[in-house]
Chain A
């Protein structure tokens, strides 16, 4: 499996949804994004120190301002974009495996 190719691949092509209605394609992207961000959230939390966890509990609660949360993440997760890129790749890689297995 060519990993570079996967990194550059278009998920819609991998899932063979190119010729489907736009709402179907949108749904596929929406679902992918949801799954990717579950993983991103997991990773972010796993990377917190004890102190950061306390700060996180303090910052992230019902009704807390969005801006505060964003600033917290920007401060404590400087490699945030990299994490998102990695989890996106991971999702595409898993999808590739699945599609290959199904079409072999």
Chain B
């Protein structure tokens, strides 16, 4: 055997931590509290395994005091242990409070874990973990709650217990609410176990897709929609999806159309969400194209994008811009066709989407885009000045504004023309011929060709 080395600081810390939690959990297995002599339990398992050894000695003292009194007493002991945690030594009261809260949550977690262990032990047809025989789950919960109440008393005395956040009237905030939440330890395992036995066949049939037939189809559908609205974060998107599905159903019934405005709003949002998703793909494509063009430009392998000059970046952006737009537009159309929303989109909706959702730079060169932004800023400034200055006419501000607005209109018109050339006419043709024709739409004109045609 070699020399014995002093334990590493990390080991010391772990040992101390283990001892700390051992002392806490001891109270959950002991009726007479800290006075009992017990082996150091394994904190990994949460509760003391060695309670088995003390089982023979265990005798509930409910004839000496009511259960509540025992819980309260043990809760106090538990809280004192938490307060005496060596980690809290250098903390102020607020820090201690927050730390103890975490410790209490850890205890709750262990209680619930042990709950699950108990289920497994029973369902595996094995003996329950020996120490369980010594601990009633409800009593463990009672002691835990009592520890919280002691903690609350202490925190109030120290002035660090917040009944409400920032004095707000909302009773659901602050430490009090947290107390209510954290002490709500649910003994689900018993229902879980029983319900599981009762409903196992239903669940398994559902998992394999056979459960669907047990419910009336439309009812299952409605249930699904309700869950969809609960489960997804984006309620509007779900609403859009729901409206779409309900619309289909209503088309088959005689109950009438959903409100047009509501439908359009939901639909528009749904489409915008899809466009956003496609735009993200566009950005990814754009980056890929930049990388590809870097390679074609003979750059050193592994060269970072950051080392490319601004000029070159702009070149790539411009070059990829139109292709990127084509990709987006093509994908969007196919998406619409697949989603059978093609015939729902009318011209105004189409233009609104294109104008509002696609980035301007997809339809304008960088130069045009920069000019447009400057002109719009100038327009805002001039409008404000005209409003505030009674002498605006003498100063020629009205003329300046007109000139600025003409510049804006010119650039906006270029965008419109490009949309017209690239989108709407083909869309209309496609609509007449059906989805397949629309799907074959491909942008072939370069920007230069478009400009030439414009002039024509």
- Is the CB of A99 closer than 8 A to any CB of chain B? no
Q: Distance (Å) between the CB of B432 and the closest chain A CB?
A: 29
- Is B220 a contact partner of A7 (Cβ separation < 8 A)? yes
Among A37, A60, A91, the one with the most B-chain Cβ atoms within 10 Å of its Cβ is A37
- Is B208 a contact partner of A3 (Cβ separation < 8 A)? no
B interface size (C-beta, 8 A): 40
- Is A36 a contact partner of B136 (Cβ separation < 8 A)? no
A9 to B209, CA, bound (A): 5
Q: Which residue of B lies closest to A74 (CB)?
A: B198
| Stretch of B187-195, B261-269, B323-331, B405-413 at the chain-chain interface | B187-195
- Is A37 a contact partner of B196 (Cβ separation < 8 A)? yes
Cβ of A61: which chain B residues have Cβ within 8 Å of it? Answer: 138, 190
Contacting residue for A92 out of B137, B202, B207, CB 8 A: B207
Which applies to chain B's interface (DSSP): helix, strand, loop or mixed?
helix
Contacting residue for B228 out of A3, A36, A88, CB 8 A: A3
Contacting residue for B231 out of A32, A34, A88, A90, CB 8 A: A90
A1 to B220, CA, bound (A): 15
- Is A93 a contact partner of B231 (Cβ separation < 8 A)? yes
A29 to B217, CA, bound (A): 24
- Is A93 a contact partner of B227 (Cβ separation < 8 A)? yes
Q: Distance (Å) between the CB of B201 and the closest chain A CB?
A: 9
- Is the CB of A10 closer than 8 A to any CB of chain B? yes
Interface string of B215-228 (1 = CB under 8 A from A): 10100110111011
A70 to B194, CA, bound (A): 7
Q: Distance (Å) between the CB of A66 and the closest chain B CB?
A: 7
Q: Distance (Å) between the CB of A68 and the closest chain B CB?
A: 10
- Is the CB of A44 closer than 8 A to any CB of chain B? yes
A-B contact pairs, 15 of them (CB 8 A): A1-B241, A6-B224, A7-B209, A7-B211, A10-B207, A11-B208, A11-B209, A37-B196, A60-B194, A66-B197, A73-B194, A85-B223, A87-B203, A93-B227, A97-B231
New contact pairs (10) apart from A61-B138, A85-B223, CB-CB < 8 Å: A1-B228, A3-B224, A3-B225, A4-B220, A66-B194, A73-B194, A85-B202, A88-B202, A89-B223, A93-B224
A-B interface, 4 closest residue pairs, ranked by CB to CB distance from nearest: A88-B206, A3-B224, A84-B199, A41-B191
